[in-house]
């Protein structure tokens, strides 16, 4: 697979992120919002409110959610050595959504939803560990065919956990008050309409930066893990510790993204897959490239979701699924 120079790809992604961010701030039913930054007249007050209270927090939330989901997806694909792995497919997003929804129905605020989302994501991964422990922490000398079968077993286990989470969400929806049904449904489909808290968006960006830093410090052992557990072990990698650490990073990234934007699907699958074709499979470059690619994807999808049929707003998760499902099917056909 031919890959482009990493520096050019990362620079291009950074420019694309800036352009997408500017487009998100400038596009909407209220024109001239960006001019409010330089206009101090009385008439600029309404535009300034739209910018600082609506569009800026939403754009930052979209950027953070996309980056977090892509980072989680890239890590899970590398850990399982399976390009079909993704937090949404493995049920981690669904588990986080169940936890956040339980906290929401209990009357908790944002912090309660974040805690519930994190607990749901960790509980799902704990179940994945227990049900597929042999695949995750099997013998280091397993043959390649056995390792491939183990990876498939983990993927199928995750699919079943996703189905179980979907059943729990359906049950919670049946018990939810009618007045909350529409907002809950949109949130479950992936929605950024309520992402208007600037502090929460900035906190999510800090979480993204910290988790990306932790993940990139583990890029070298992750590259060795891609060649097999035995080779990584021989070269000094503590396989089990690295795997546990990066799975926890994936869970925290997924939980933060779900709290912000709901269960946005297929971002963690599409972004790493596209970036892998551009920069190759070196995790030192692929992880930050995937995070930027996922951020751009969700930013553009959210901008389209709120402007395509204005004044109505579409759930951003619907648009990412319309992109992700065909890509997923095309990859399955080539495997």
Q: Domain limits at 324?
A: 6-14+62-334
Contact status, residue 92 vs residue 250, Cβ threshold 8 Å: yes
Residue 25 lies in a domain: no
Q: Residue 123 domain-assigned?
A: yes
Map the chain to HEC letters: CCCCCHHHHHHHHHHHHHHHHHHHHHCCCCCCCHHHHCCCCCCHHHHHHHHHHHHHHHHHHHHHHHHHHHHHHHHHHHHHCCCCCCCCCCCHHHHHHHHHHHHHHCCCCHHHHHHHHHHHHHHHHHHHHHHCHHHHCCCCCCCHHHHHHHHHHHHHHHHHHHHHHHHHHHHHHHHCCHHHHHHHHHHHHCCCCCCCCHHHHHHHHHHHHHHHHHHHHCHHHHHHHCCCHHHHHHCCCCHHHHHHHHHHHHHHHHHHHHHHHCCCCCHHHHHHHHHHHHHCCCHHHHHHHHHHHHHHHHHHHHHHHHHCCCCCCCCHHHHHHHHHHHHHHHHHHHC
Least-confidence region, from 92-96, 178-182, 234-238: 178-182
pLDDT tier for residue 90 given thresholds of 50, 70 and 90: confident
Q: Is 27 domain-assigned?
A: no
pTM: 0.87
Q: Is residue 32 part of a domain?
A: no
pLDDT of residue 143: 47
Predicted confidence (pLDDT) per residue in 108-154, tens digit: 776 787 788 888 888 888 888 777 666 555 544 454 454 555 667 77
Which pLDDT value is given to residue 216?
94
Cα angle 195, 258, 266; round to 5? 110
CB atoms within 10 A of CB 55: 21
DSSP three-state, residue 33:
coil
Evaluate whether residue 30 is within a structural domain: no
| pLDDT for res 32 | 60
The CA–CA distances, whole Å, from 98 to 22, 151, 163, 170, 183 equal 34, 25, 12, 10, 15
Between the alpha carbon of residue 122 and those of residues 95, 172, 217, 255, the distances in Å are 8, 20, 22, 9
Lowest mean pLDDT among 15-19, 110-114, 296-300: 110-114
Give domain status of residue 100, yes or no.
Answer: yes
Chain position carrying tokens 């190759």 = 280
Residue from 59, 22, 34, 18 nearest 306 by CA: 59
pLDDT band at 31, cuts 50/70/90?
low
The answer to whether residue 210 is domain-embedded is yes
Per-residue pLDDT tens over the stretch 234-279 = 888 888 888 888 988 988 899 899 888 888 888 988 999 999 989 9
Rounded to the nearest 5 degrees, what angle is found at the Cα of 194, between the Cα atoms of 193 and 200?
125
Query: Domain of 97: which CATH number?
Result: 1.10.3470.10
Average pLDDT score over residue span 312-325: 85
* Number of domains comprising the chain: 1
- Stated as kind and residue range, the H or E segment containing 271 is helix 267-279
| Structural domain includes residue 317 | yes
CB-based contacts of 54, cutoff 8 Å, min separation 6: 196
């Amino acid at each position: 697979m031919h890959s482009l120079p990493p520096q050019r790809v990362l620079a291009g992604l950074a420019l694309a992120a800036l352009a997408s961010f500017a487009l998100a701030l400038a596009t909407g039913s209220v024109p001239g919002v960006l001019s409010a930054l330089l206009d101090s007249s009385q008439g600029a007050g309404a535009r300034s409110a739209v910018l600082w209270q609506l569009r800026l927090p939403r754009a930052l939330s979209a950027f953070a959610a996309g980056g977090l989901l892509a980072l989680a997806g890239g890590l899970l694909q590398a850990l399982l050595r399976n390009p079909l792995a993704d937090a949404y497919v493995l049920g981690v997003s669904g588990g986080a959504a169940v936890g956040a929804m339980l906290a929401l129905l209990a009357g908790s605020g944002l912090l309660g939803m974040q805690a519930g989302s994190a607990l749901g994501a960790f509980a799902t991964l704990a179940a994945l560990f227990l049900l597929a422990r042999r695949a995750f922490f099997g013998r280091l000398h397993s043959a390649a065919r056995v390792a491939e079968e183990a990876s498939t077993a983990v993927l199928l286990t995750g699919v079943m956990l996703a189905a179980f989470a979907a059943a729990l969400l359906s049950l919670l929806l049946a018990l939810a008050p009618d007045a909350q049904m529409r907002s809950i449904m949109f949130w479950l489909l992936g929605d950024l309409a309520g992402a208007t808290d600037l502090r929460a968006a900035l906190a999510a960006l800090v979480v993204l930066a910290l988790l990306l830093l932790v993940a990139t410090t583990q890029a070298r052992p992750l590259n060795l893990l891609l060649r097999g557990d035995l080779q990584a072990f021989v070269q000094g990698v503590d396989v089990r510790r690295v795997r546990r650490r990066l799975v926890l990073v994936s869970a925290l990234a997924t939980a933060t993204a779900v709290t912000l934007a709901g269960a946005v699907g297929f971002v963690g699958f599409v972004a790493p897959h596209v970036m892998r074709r551009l920069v190759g499979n070196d995790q030192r470059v692929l992880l930050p490239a995937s995070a930027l690619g996922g951020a751009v994807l969700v930013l553009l999808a959210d901008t389209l979701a709120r402007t395509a049929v204005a004044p109505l707003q579409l759930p951003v998760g619907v648009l990412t699924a319309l992109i992700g499902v065909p890509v997923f099917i095309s990859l399955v056909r080539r495997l």
